[in-house]
């Protein structure tokens, strides 16, 4: 069974992903793969440097993620150019990992920009982790040290809550305790097992 997992920034999606992995799902993490495909020495990093210049590298030769992030979140054309390089590499790696999963596995694709990429219909089910914008901003300021302005800009660059909620097979509201979240995720996983 193929399941898409998404949620806005600081919604708690990564925590849900970890819980699903603990419960036995095979989790394929888009962010992790996106980092792998532009690691030092990869064709992906070479393509990024060719498109955006060597100033996007750290002195050690890694992708300067904060600098790249600041550029692409302020410039939609630059973001699309970066996505044009990274997304095909990510999809190729996805296919490899999915093929390697056991036949009876629940394979969860952890994709922050699932709605934005228009891929929700590719999955047997979609789990959306949701939190109100004020909760998201509070978490970014508290946990990541961002400014409120930076947090709101990141939220504005993503799909709206309504757009994400519209594709949800399962909606997980993440406004309570970690135990509340774990209970909700466990219930959803049990339902997925029943459907698989």
Phi-psi region of 125 (alpha: psi -120 to 50; beta: other; left: phi over 0): beta
Cα–Cα distances (Å) from 155 to 5, 30, 140, in that order, read: 17, 18, 10
Q: Are residues 21 and 111 in the same domain?
A: yes
Q: Do 82 and 97 belong together in one domain?
A: yes
Three-state DSSP at 76 gives helix
Digit-coded pLDDT (tens) for 148-186: 999 999 999 899 999 999 999 999 999 999 999 999 999
Cα distances from 14 to residues 27, 32, 142, in angstroms, run: 11, 11, 17
What is the separation, in whole angstroms, between the first and last Cα of the chain?
6
117 pLDDT above the threshold of 90: no
CATH of the domain at 58: 3.40.50.300
Number of domains present in the structure of the chain:
2
pLDDT digits (tens, 9 = 90+) for 35-84: 999 999 999 999 999 999 999 999 999 999 999 998 998 899 999 999 99
92 with 144, same domain? no
Domain that holds residue 99: 31-105
Domain boundary, last residue among 63, 87, 105 = 105
Rounded Cα–Cα distance for residues 181 and 129 (Å): 10
Q: What is the DSSP letter of 54?
A: G
E strand or H helix at 6: strand 2-7
Indicate the pairing of strand 26-29 with strand 170-173: unpaired
Residues 116 and 72 in one domain: no
> Which two structure tokens, joined as six digits, stand for 1?
């069974």
Q: Does 111 lie in the same domain as 98?
A: no
For residues 138-144, average pLDDT:
95
Q: Are residues 79 and 15 in the same domain?
A: no
Residue after which a domain boundary falls, among 105, 125, 140: 105
Same domain, yes or no: 111 and 194: yes
Instruction: Report whether pLDDT(27) > 90.
Output: yes
Residues 135 and 196 in one domain: yes
Residue count of the chain? 196
Pairwise CA distance, residues 24 & 33, whole Å: 20
The verdict on 20 and 91 lying in the same domain is no
Per the prediction, the chain carries an average pLDDT of: 95
């Amino acid at each position: 069974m193929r399941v898409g997992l998404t949620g806005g920034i600081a919604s708690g999606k990564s925590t849900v992903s970890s819980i699903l992995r603990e419960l036995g799902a095979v989790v394929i993490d888009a962010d992790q793969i996106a980092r792998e495909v532009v690691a030092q020495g990869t064709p992906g990093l070479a393509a990024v440097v060719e498109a955006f210049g060597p100033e996007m590298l750290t002195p050690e030769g890694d992708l300067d993620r904060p600098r790249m992030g600041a550029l692409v979140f302020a410039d939609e054309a630059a973001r699309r150019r970066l996505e044009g390089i990274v997304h095909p590499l990510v999809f190729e790696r996805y296919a490899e990992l999915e093929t390697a999963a056991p036949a009876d596995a629940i394979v969860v694709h952890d994709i922050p920009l699932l709605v934005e990429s228009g891929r929700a219909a590719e999955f047997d089910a979609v789990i959306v982790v949701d939190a109100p914008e004020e909760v998201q901003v509070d978490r970014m300021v508290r946990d990541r040290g961002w400014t409120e302005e930076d947090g709101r800009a990141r939220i504005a660059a993503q799909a709206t809550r309504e757009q994400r909620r519209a594709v949800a097979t399962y909606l997980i509201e993440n406004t309570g305790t970690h135990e509340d979240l774990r209970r909700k995720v466990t219930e959803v996983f049990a339902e997925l097992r029943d459907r698989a």
